[in-house]
């Protein structure tokens, strides 16, 4: 299937086309808003071209610059760390409400803010979360079509492959991205159609079985995760609120749903490090009682973890549980990407914070309180962390009866 004979530029162009046609399924007349690191300029230009070819009325790109952020941490006055560009975030939310699609390109330095004052890091993150909330709600409610893809950058590549020269590390990272994104197949659009069918079959089956809860068991993990009343499993291509069928994550290997934020009990341990906004958190173990984290420990970055848990009330519960077989291609690559988009698709995971209302039956018309009463957690954060491995068994429980879903990390339900 793999076309190793394609040049880098050809592969880059296929990734751009895949993101526009499969990831966004961009519609004629839609505006498109892209956020990207400065290193992504060549990819953004190709996405822009494919977007206009698909009929985009306007493509607007916001570039973020790691160096400018470091200058802020180095020189800005104290008040800066509680400041965010609310005026810009509100403008973006308005564009989404008026029908714009959203493309996020990830690939920044995973540990950019390592060594910065953790109080400043956490305040900047909280101020940004608050400002971005109106726009993020549109994304979590899946009201418009959106897509996130990755771009290799030297800072990211060097952290994954610290022993390689820069050029070689970049090539290896691009190879991983092209492969996981299926841009290196003969026909990426067809490859994604086939893959989406596998994921749809899994979510359809789980929606038929309607488990009350999932039980995860493995080293450091023994936890019952109740599922929300009227939860829905999703995965692969889905229809957004504006009617557009798109693939929000490229790559994606998960099926996922909404846990019940009051019915989670037990202990769960991370199986891969979490890289959150430039900080590393590793060796996480947390204990839940009645849906809330009452005990949290991390071998590294425990202070960052505790600050995350203090973001708001909902930060101490979870809004997503996702199943990914250990044999997923990303997992099999053996690469720890230090980037959630990739690492969460190599492993079962849960997400602290906000639930996706699309993973609930009939969410429209329900108030925030009613959604919470049905178990859908509410928070300004949504942070995935990895709990799967080849040593994890997962059972689905309904009326006390157990059905094996994963054994030793592999899918056994059919």
| Footprint on this chain of a copy of itself (rule: CB under 8 A) | 28-29, 31, 38, 41, 44-45, 48-49, 52-53, 55-63, 65, 67-68, 71-72, 74-77, 79-80, 83-85, 87-88, 90-92, 94-95, 98, 100
* Shortest Å distance, C-beta 65 to a copy of itself: 7
* Shortest Å distance, C-beta 76 to a copy of itself: 4
* Shortest Å distance, C-beta 214 to a copy of itself: 41
| Residues ≥6 apart with Cβ < 8 Å to 83 | 127
Pair of tokens at residue 9? 């530029």
Contact between residue 210 and residue 199 where contact means Cβ atoms under 8 Å apart: no
Return the number of the residue (53 or 210) whose C-beta is nearest a copy of itself: 53
Return the number of the residue (94 or 297) whose C-beta is nearest a copy of itself: 94
Distance (Å, whole) CA 374 – CA 390: 32
Return the number of the residue (85 or 366) whose C-beta is nearest a copy of itself: 85
- What is the phi/psi pair of residue 174, to 5°? -60, -40
* Shortest Å distance, C-beta 279 to a copy of itself: 21
| Residues ≥6 apart with Cβ < 8 Å to 290 | 262, 263, 264, 265
Return the number of the residue (63 or 207) whose C-beta is nearest a copy of itself: 63
* Shortest Å distance, C-beta 37 to a copy of itself: 12
Return the number of the residue (119 or 401) whose C-beta is nearest a copy of itself: 119
Return the number of the residue (87 or 400) whose C-beta is nearest a copy of itself: 87
* Shortest Å distance, C-beta 133 to a copy of itself: 15
**Nearest by Cα to 120 from 392, 353, 307:** 307
Q: How far is CA 251 from CA 171, 235, 236, 267, 315, in A?
A: 18, 11, 9, 29, 26
Return the number of the residue (62 or 194) whose C-beta is nearest a copy of itself: 62
* Shortest Å distance, C-beta 272 to a copy of itself: 33
């Amino acid at each position: 299937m793999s076309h190793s004979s394609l040049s880098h530029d050809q592969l880059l162009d296929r990734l751009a086309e895949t993101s526009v046609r499969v990831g966004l399924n961009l519609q004629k007349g839609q505006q498109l808003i892209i956020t990207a690191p400065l290193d992504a300029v060549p990819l953004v230009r190709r996405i822009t071209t494919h977007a206009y070819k698909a009929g985009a009325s306007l493509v607007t790109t916001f570039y973020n610059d790691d160096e400018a952020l470091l200058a802020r941490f180095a020189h800005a006055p104290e008040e800066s760390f509680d400041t965010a560009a609310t005026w810009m975030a509100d403008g973006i939310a308005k564009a989404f409400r008026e029908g714009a699609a959203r493309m996020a390109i990830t690939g920044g330095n995973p540990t950019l803010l390592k060594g910065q004052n953790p109080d400043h890091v956490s305040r900047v993150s909280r101020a940004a979360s608050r400002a971005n909330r109106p726009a993020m709600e549109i994304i979590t409610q899946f009201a418009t079509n959106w897509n996130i893809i990755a771009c290799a950058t030297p800072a990211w590549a060097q952290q994954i492959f610290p022993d390689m020269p820069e050029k070689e590390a970049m090539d290896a990272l691009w190879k991983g991205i092209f492969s996981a994104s299926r841009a290196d197949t003969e026909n990426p659009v067809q490859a994604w159609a086939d893959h989406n069918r596998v994921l749809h079959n899994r979510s359809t089956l789980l929606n038929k079985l309607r488990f009350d809860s999932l039980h995860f068991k493995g080293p450091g993990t023994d936890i019952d995760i109740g599922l929300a009343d009227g939860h829905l499993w999703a995965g692969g291509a889905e229809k957004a609120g504006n009617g557009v069928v798109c693939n929000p994550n490229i790559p994606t290997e998960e099926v996922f749903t909404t846990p019940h934020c009051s019915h989670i009990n037990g202990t769960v341990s991370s199986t891969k490090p979490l890289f959150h906004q430039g900080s590393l958190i590793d060796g996480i173990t947390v204990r839940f009682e009645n849906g809330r984290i009452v005990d949290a420990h991390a071998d590294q970055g425990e202070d960052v973890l505790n600050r995350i848990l203090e973001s708001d009330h909902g930060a101490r519960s979870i809004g997503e549980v996702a199943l990914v077989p250990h044999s997923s291609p990303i997992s099999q690559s053996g690469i720890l990407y230090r980037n959630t988009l990739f690492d969460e698709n190599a492993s079962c995971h849960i997400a602290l914070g906000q639930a996706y209302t699309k993973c609930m039956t009939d969410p429209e018309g329900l108030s925030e309180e009613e959604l919470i009463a049905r178990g859908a957690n509410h928070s300004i954060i949504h942070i995935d962390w990895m709990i799967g491995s080849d040593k994890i068994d997962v059972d689905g429980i309904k009326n006390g009866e157990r059905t094996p879903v994963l054994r030793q990390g592999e899918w056994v339900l059919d």
